[in-house]
Structure 1
Amino acid sequence: MAELGPVPWPPAPIVTERLVLREAEARDRAGFIELFASPEVRAYLGGAQPRAELERVVPEVPGRRPGLFVAELDGAMIGTVTVDRREAGRPGHLTPDALEAELGYMFLPGAWGRGYAAEACAAVLDWCTEVLPGEPVVLCTQSANGPSMRLAQKLGFHEVERFEEFGAEQWFGVRVPGADSPQAPVT
């Protein structure tokens, strides 16, 4: 994960119909531990991490960095949405030297199937359009992760390529702000 770059941070909380997207706070620590310890959440992200280890290493205020939004529902953390720069050494880029803005997300299983991830990611993509005007955003997910593939399509991402990484086929897509639908990949 590479630093997002010079963007105004932290932004004012983003309020959607049902959610608040905000900077991480100390009260989110248990939620971060749950995300990383959950076998369901981490099924396509390298697997769950041991809870005891997370309790030891997760800081008092986890995730406080530019590009990381906590998704809050009724005062409780239900997930995270991130925007980072895709590392140059990894496969999947629009141009060989690019460090594209990359969208990522994790939501607790109790929040699945209710449209919260789509709502939160759409709001963060709108934020990206404001702070990174004209810049495409990429997304990478395992092609075996059906729900993530459907969310990428719903958010307007279009396939650029597939490749092997971390022992599995990865789907790499792009969303170009302001492009006519369907969006065409940047070449």
Structure 2
Amino acid sequence: MEDLGTVAWPPEPIRTERLLLRESEARDRAVFVELLASPEANAYLGGPRPRAELEREVPEVPQRWPGSFVVELDGSMIGQILLRRATGHSRPAAVGKADLGYLFLPRAWGFGYAAEACAAALDWLAGVLPGVPVVLTTQTANARSMRLAAKLGFTEVERFEAWDAEQWLGMRPPAVPSGHPDGGGPE
């Protein structure tokens, strides 16, 4: 896969019906600390990090690299989308593909924001790196994440044990460009 480092960054902010996806700013730091310290948000990601440690370590402008989007609702950060090349992945099926990750504040759960933001980020990726398949890994016990993966069009490639839990690896095939003979057009 072509690396996101080759893509012009940051892109113009991405607007959806309710959300804005943009590069992080200094004003997002407190929400990054809250997100990374949240026991609920990190229940399937190895647990929360201590708030005091995060206060010391999170930079003034956190998570600022190609593929890292802040998800904003009504002027405030509610989550983060990560698109990156699947590196260091223990699963051969993921190598060379884009990897989708997301993390949202618990107060933003249940409103469809993650689906809306992830779909917009995946559309952006298809526009800048067409033909790239995307993978997503989550614990099978994470019912919300499993539902989101299905809603976004990910299908199971394999299940495996890691971090003392069953993991699910799904893949979303590359988007077919609009007007392509194999389909395309508005969904």
Decide: shared fold, TM above 0.5.
yes
SS at match of 2:160: strand
User: In the aligned structure 2, how far is the partner of 1:108 from the partner of 1:66?
Assistant: 22
Corresponding residue for 1:119? 116
- Whether contact under 8 Å (1:92, 1:161) holds in the other structure is no
- Whether contact under 8 Å (2:130, 2:175) holds in the other structure is no
- TM-score by structure 1 length? 0.90
SS at match of 2:171: strand
User: In the aligned structure 2, how far is the partner of 1:172 from the partner of 1:128?
Assistant: 19
- Whether contact under 8 Å (2:158, 2:168) holds in the other structure is yes
CA apart distance, 1:174: 0.5
CA apart distance, 1:92: 2.3
Are 1:94 and 2:93 counterparts?
yes
Q: Which amino acid aligns with 2:101?
A: G
SS at match of 1:5: helix
Q: Alignment RMSD, CA only? A: 1.5
Q: Which amino acid aligns with 2:86?
A: R
CA apart distance, 1:121: 0.1
Corresponding residue for 1:39? 39
Q: Which amino acid aligns with 1:6?
A: T
Corresponding residue for 2:135? 138
> Where does structure 2 lack aligned partners over 5 or more consecutive residues?
177-181
- Whether contact under 8 Å (1:93, 1:100) holds in the other structure is no
User: In the aligned structure 2, how far is the partner of 1:147 from the partner of 1:163?
Assistant: 19
Identity of aligned residues (%): 65
Q: Which amino acid aligns with 2:74?
A: D
Are 1:156 and 2:153 counterparts?
yes
User: In the aligned structure 1, how far is the partner of 2:56 from the partner of 2:4?
Assistant: 27
> Where does structure 1 lack aligned partners over 5 or more consecutive residues?
182-187
- TM-score by structure 2 length? 0.90
The C-alpha deviation readout for 1:54-91, integer Å capped at 9, x for no partner, is: 00110000011000000000000000000011124x32
User: In the aligned structure 2, how far is the partner of 1:152 from the partner of 1:7?
Assistant: 25
CA apart distance, 1:5: 3.1
Count the aligned residue pairs.
Answer: 176
Q: Which amino acid aligns with 2:155?
A: H
